[in-house]
Every structure is written in structure tokens, then in C-alpha cells.
Amino acid sequence: MHLSTADVEHIAELAKLALTLEEIEQYRRQLSDILEHFETLKQVDTSSVPPTASVLPLRTVMRADVVRPSLPTDDALANAPDREDGFFRVRAVFGEE
């Protein structure tokens, strides 16, 4: 598997990661190398094999719909980089330009 610079930029965009030019080139090489090793998976016939997402024999676990105490607002906000009046403060979703 050979990834291009554009491939890596596309993945970085999906993952919302700002990367330097050096990082893009490094990940292009390393991810290509790793994916090359993973080509062996193609040898396995899985045409009639169901996927396993979880090993547990559990289905969706429900709980009683009962109100319980939750984290107080101040505690929930304690680690926020920016807050105002009991809310998280965020940057504008759209630019100012």
C-alpha cells in the first residue's frame, strides 16, 4: 500500500489533526510501511465469516429511567480551558471573515 501526500492530508483532515510538512511526510512513509505489512490479511478467506465487534454475549444493556445525582456544574467545568456563566466557551463555528 503506497499512500500519497494527498492521502495523508485527507486522513489528517478527517481526524482533525494539524500536521507539519515534516509530519505529513513521516506519516506517509510510516503508514505506507505499516499497511504494507497488513496486506497479509488478504490471504484469509472471510467470505462466510461474520465480523466480531465485541466478544461479550451482551446485548444493549438498559437501566431504569430514574433520576440520579450527576456531576455538579462547577465540577464539570473545572477543567475547561475557557468558560462563562456556567457554560463552556467555544470559538466561533464560522470565521469572522
Partner 1 sequence: MSDELFRLTIHQAAGLLRRREITSVELTQAVLERIYAVDNAVRAYLSLMPEAALERAAAADCALAAADDPASLPALLGIPLAIKDVILVEGAPTTCGSKMLEDFVSPFEATVIGKLRAAGAVLLGKTNTDEFAMGSSTENSAFVATRNPWDLSRVPGGSSGGSAAAVAADECLAALGSDTGGSVRQPAALCGVVGIKPTYGRVSRYGLTAFASSLDQIGCLTKDVTDAALLLHAIAGHDPLDSTSMDAPIPDYAAALGLARSETGQSYEARSETGQSFGALGLARSETGQSYETSVALAGLRPSQPLHGLRVGVPREYFIDGMQPEVEQAVRAAIDALVSLGAELREISLPHTQYALPVYYLIAPAEASANLARYDGVRYGLRHPDAQTMWEGFKLSRGAGFGPEVKRRIMLGAYALSAGYYDAYYLKAQQVRTLLKRDFDLAFQQVDVIAAPVSPTTAFRVGEKADDPMSMYLADVFTLSLNLAGNCGLSVPCGFDLQGLPIGLQLIGPAFGEAAILRAAYAYEQATDWRARRPVVGERWPVNGKRRTVNGKR
Q: What is the C-alpha to C-alpha distance for residues 61 and 39, in angstroms, rounded to an integer?
A: 37
The 10 Å Cβ neighbour count of residue 7 is 16
**DSSP tag of 75:** H
* Residue 52 interacts with partner 1 (CB under 8 A): yes or no: yes
Burial class (CB in 10 A: 0-12, 13-18, 19+), 22: exposed
**In the complex, what is the shortest distance from the CB of residue 4 to partner 1, in angstroms, rounded to a whole number?**
12
Q: Is 16 in the site for partner 1 (CB under 8 A)?
A: yes
Q: Among 21, 65, 75, 85, which residue sits at the site for partner 1 (rule: CB under 8 A)?
A: 75
Q: Which stretches of the chain bind partner 1, using CB under 8 A?
A: 7-8, 10-12, 14-19, 23, 27, 30-31, 33-35, 37-38, 40-42, 44, 46, 49-56, 58, 60-61, 63, 71, 75-76, 78-82, 88, 90-96
